[in-house]
């Protein structure tokens, strides 16, 4: 696998080595040994999958405090614009984001470390999206930032009039209006 750095330290694109022939293709989608050697030590504990249609925007979500999660995300069918926003107070990239197209064709994955909000928009008629988490989900510790926060200036590549959102995602606060105690501290080790 190849590790591609992004504009924000610790967020990386993982590009697998694909073996194709007349029968189809094969690739190793995850190797703990290779990932820990190339990216960081981690223990993923939960795999999730969602199915969405064109125009769906999910996010920007995160888990607070000791329930913070790293995610390794990928698309099995279709294409998304995957977005990670730095919500670590004191970080030189606080409020900045990385946006990467993930698709069934490029087979790329995005690693989002703890301390980031995450979301994606669906660019094709249908998407099957999978992700690994290194901490269990906790409903009582959900956090979210408004997907359309003007200061974040994320181009979701979906016209606003066509965006499909959950009821919860329609009413999230902007990053500036989010209680700082619900965010992360850049100088804190989030993996202890």
Q: Tell me which residues are annotated as active site.
A: 61, 131
Rounded Cα–Cα distance for residues 148 and 173 (Å): 10
For strand 184-185 and strand 88-89, is the pairing parallel, antiparallel, or unpaired? parallel
b/e per residue 62-75 (b: at least 16 CB within 10 A): bbeeebbbbbbbbb
Return the structure tokens found at 43. Answer: 């223990």
Token pair of 95, please?
């409020």
Tokens 């965006």 sit on residue = 163
């Amino acid at each position: 696998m190849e590790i591609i750095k992004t504009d924000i330290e610790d967020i990386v694109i993982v590009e697998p080595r694909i073996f194709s022939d007349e029968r189809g293709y094969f690739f190793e989608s995850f190797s703990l040994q290779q990932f820990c050697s190339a990216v960081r030590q981690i223990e993923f504990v939960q795999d999730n999958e969602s199915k969405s249609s064109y125009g769906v925007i999910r996010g920007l979500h995160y888990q607070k405090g000791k329930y913070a999660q790293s995610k390794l995300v990928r698309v099995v069918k279709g294409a998304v614009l995957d977005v990670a926003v730095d919500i670590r107070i004191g970080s030189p990239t606080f409020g900045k984001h990385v946006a990467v197209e993930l698709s069934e064709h490029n087979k790329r994955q995005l690693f989002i470390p703890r301390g980031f909000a995450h979301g994606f928009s669906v660019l094709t008629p249908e998407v099957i999206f999978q992700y690994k988490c290194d901490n269990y989900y906790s409903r009582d510790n959900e956090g979210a930032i408004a997907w359309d926060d003007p200061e974040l200036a994320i181009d979701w590549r979906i016209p606003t009039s066509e965006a499909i959102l959950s009821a919860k995602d329609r009413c999230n606060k902007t990053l500036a209006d989010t209680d700082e105690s619900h965010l992360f501290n850049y100088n804190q080790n989030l993996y202890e």
